[in-house]
């Protein structure tokens, strides 16, 4: 956690400096006879100062605990990636981002949803050494679930809630 805190602290410091600079650049609207204390940059600058203090505390605290020695090694990264939990996490992240960020809006919604559910179920329920019969059963179950979800959600939103699907 101390390494994560160190990096988060640094990120917070960078973010607050950036926001401070942006707030300074925001117009003061003097030509509109606006009160200088009503300038749009005041509150973001105030928040940036608070976050800057928090960032400095985080960095100071984690450096004291030795968190600035990140000690990244190829072996460490490989071990993290080999962990089954992390693999499932990564796979879920990739599948969800590809579905929601790439497929939806580019191909018909029903098809994208069908594909996502089918691939998700098939990938996560696949086991090494499955017989072809088990494989077929899994594929069928995934396909049926995917059809039910894709059709019912498309129908519900398009016909009942009158939403134009992406």
Partner 1 sequence: MGILIDNLGLFLQAIGGFITPWALFHIAWSTLLGIVIGALPGLTATMGVALITTLTYKLKPDLAILVLMCVYVGAIYGGSRTAILLNIPGTPANAATTLDGFPLAKQGLAGRAMGVATSGSVMGSIIGMFFLATLAPLLGNYALKFQSYEFFWLAIFGIVISGHLTSLDDPIKGWIAGFLGLMTAMVGQEGIHAYERFTYGTTELLGGFALIPAMVGAFGLAEVLSVMRNPPAEMAKNPQDSVIPRLADIMKYKRTIVRSGLIGTVIGIIPGVGEDIGAWVSYAAARRKSKEREKFGKGSIEGLMAAETGNNAVVPGAIIPVLTLAIPGSAPAAVLLAAMFIHGIRPGPMIMVESPLFVYQVVAMVFFATIAILIYGIALTRPLLKVLAIPRTRLMPVVFVLCVIGSYAITSRVFDIWVMIGFGLFGYILREMKYPMAPLVLGIILGDLLDKNMRRGLVLTDGDITPFFTRPICIVLWVITLVSILMTIEPVRHALQRLFQKVWPGRRHSAD
Q: Report DSSP state, residue 56.
A: H
Distance CA 8, CA 2 (A): 10
The mark string for 146-165 relative to partner 1 (x by CB under 8 A, - otherwise) is ---x---x--xx--xxxxxx
- Does 121 sit near partner 1 (CB under 8 A)? yes
Q: What's the closest the beta carbon of residue 19 comes to partner 1, in angstroms?
A: 7
Q: 3-state DSSP call for residue 128?
A: coil
What would you measure as the largest C-alpha separation in the chain, in angstroms? 78
Nearest of 45, 43, 46, 56 to residue 13 by alpha carbon: 56
Cα(115)–Cα(101) distance, integer angstroms: 14
| Binding positions for partner 1, 12-51, rule CB under 8 A | 12, 15, 19, 22, 26-27, 29, 32, 34-35, 37-40, 42-44, 46-48, 50-51
**What is the spatial distance between Cα 87 and Cα 166, in angstroms, rounded to a whole number?**
30
Interacting residue ranges for partner 1, rule: CB under 8 A? 1, 4-5, 8, 12, 15, 19, 22, 26-27, 29, 32, 34-35, 37-40, 42-44, 46-48, 50-51, 54, 57-58, 85-86, 88-89, 91-93, 95-97, 99-101, 104-105, 113, 116-117, 120-121, 124-125, 145, 149, 153, 156-157, 160-166
């Amino acid at each position: 956690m101390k390494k994560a805190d160190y990096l988060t602290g640094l990120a917070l410091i960078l973010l607050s400096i950036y926001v401070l600079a942006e707030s300074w650049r925001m117009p003061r609207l003097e030509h509109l006879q606006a009160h200088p204390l009503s300038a749009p940059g005041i509150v973001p600058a105030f928040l940036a100062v608070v976050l800057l203090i928090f960032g400095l505390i985080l960095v100071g605290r984690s450096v004291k605990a030795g968190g600035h020695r990140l000690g990244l090694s190829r072996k460490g990264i490989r071990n993290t990636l080999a962990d089954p939990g992390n693999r499932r996490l990564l796979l879920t992240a990739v599948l969800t981002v590809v579905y929601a960020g790439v497929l939806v809006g580019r191909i018909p919604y029903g098809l994208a949803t069908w594909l996502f559910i089918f691939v998700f179920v098939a990938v996560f329920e696949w086991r090494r050494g499955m017989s072809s019969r088990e494989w077929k059963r899994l594929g069928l179950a995934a396909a049926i679930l995917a059809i039910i979800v894709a059709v019912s959600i498309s129908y519900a939103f398009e016909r009942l809630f009158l939403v134009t699907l992406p």
